[in-house]
Amino acid sequence: MKQETEDQSQLDIIKQEATNYYQMAKEYRRERYMKDEQEVK
């Protein structure tokens, strides 16, 4: 049970890390290419 909790916690951290990168990369593309937020995926 404890191991499962630790695994889930690690999974959440990695997921958050990837989500944070997605947001930063999106913001950087918007800044670099000067597009509207709606255009940037």
Q: Does 22 help bind another protein (rule: CB under 8 A)?
A: yes
Q: What span, in angstroms and rounded, lies between the C-alpha atoms of 8 and 25?
A: 26
Indicate which single residue of 2, 5, 34, 37 sits in contact with another protein (rule: CB under 8 A): 34
Q: What span, in angstroms and rounded, lies between the C-alpha atoms of 41 and 31?
A: 13
Indicate which single residue of 6, 9, 24, 39 sits in contact with another protein (rule: CB under 8 A): 24
For residue 23, what are its two tokens? 């947001």
Nearest approach, Cβ of 35 to another protein (angstroms)? 10
CB 26 within 8 A of CB 36: no
Q: Which residues of this protein are in contact with another protein, per CB under 8 A?
A: 11, 14-15, 17-22, 24-25, 28, 31-34, 41
